[in-house]
Structure 1
Amino acid sequence: MLLAVLLCYAGFAALCLSMDRHHSDLLGRKASAGRRQGLRLGGWALLGLSLWAAVAAAGWGLGLVQWCAVLMLSALLLVLLLPYRPRLALWLAALGLLASPLAAVAQL
């Protein structure tokens, strides 16, 4: 389930960065159209991978329920961190992407 949490949070962070306002607030510059599109596709891909990880870990019945809980928790964490600790929100997303291969190995 840890893999689903890490991928879901990173996916929401990528979707957040695909918006002009958040990208300029967090990184200090406007995003190009190609970068916005790449972040949007990457974010949705990470959310899809998190669904796969949840279903692979617990099966369809319980995996979907756990994935919905992971969606809510990761979105809540990102929403609470963005106004007060925006750099921490980015660092957590980067650490989550770096730690996801380890979590994938541990899940096997």
Structure 2
Amino acid sequence: MIAACVLVAIAGFAALCLGMARHQRDVVGKSLSRRSTWLAKATGWLALASSFVLAIVGEGAALGAIYWVGILTLAALTVALCTTALSRRR
């Protein structure tokens, strides 16, 4: 369950990354439409909320919340490193 939580959190941060105009240009090479940007942001927040639910279901309320904070750190670092690598390739 924790592995699924990590993957969903990474997907959530990736979607939030694509919800920002600067990162859209870095990753995709162009700015996305307003609708696509809004959809990316909404998807990102929904994925992060889902990862919280997965952590709570998998580990219980107290430990799940603590694991989730650590998972968010790992996921954010992963997306930041991947975004940096992709922007340097362009």
TM-score between both structures, scaled by the size of structure 2: 0.90
Q: Which residue of 2 aligns with 1:14?
A: 15
> Comparing 22-31 with 40-49, which one deviates more in the overlay?
22-31
Verify: 1:56 aligned to 2:57, yes or no: yes
Structure 1 residues 95-106: aligned runs within 5 Å:
none
Q: Which residue of 2 aligns with 1:23?
A: 24
Question: What is the rounded CA distance, in whole Å, between the counterparts of 1:25 and 1:72 in structure 2?
Answer: 22
* Percentage of pairs with the same residue: 35
The alpha-carbon deviation at position 21 of structure 1 amounts to 1.0
Question: What is the rounded CA distance, in whole Å, between the counterparts of 2:46 and 2:79 in structure 1?
Answer: 18
The alpha-carbon deviation at position 81 of structure 1 amounts to 2.2
Q: Which residue of 2 aligns with 1:65?
A: 66
| Letter aligned with residue 68 of structure 1 | V
Tell me the matched-pair count. Answer: 86
The alpha-carbon deviation at position 39 of structure 1 amounts to 0.4
Q: Deviations over 1:33-82 (max 9, x none)?
A: 11110000000000000000000000001000000000001101111222
| Letter aligned with residue 70 of structure 2 | A
Runs of 4+ displaced beyond 2 Å: none
Question: What is the rounded CA distance, in whole Å, between the counterparts of 2:9 and 2:82 in structure 1?
Answer: 15
Unaligned residue ranges in structure 1 (runs of 5+): 88-108
Unaligned residue ranges in structure 2 (runs of 5+): none
Q: Deviations over 1:6-44 (max 9, x none)?
A: 000000000000111111221122111111100000000
Aligned CA RMSD, in angstroms, stands at 1.2
TM-score between both structures, scaled by the size of structure 1: 0.76
Contact 2:55 2:68 in 1 (8 A): yes
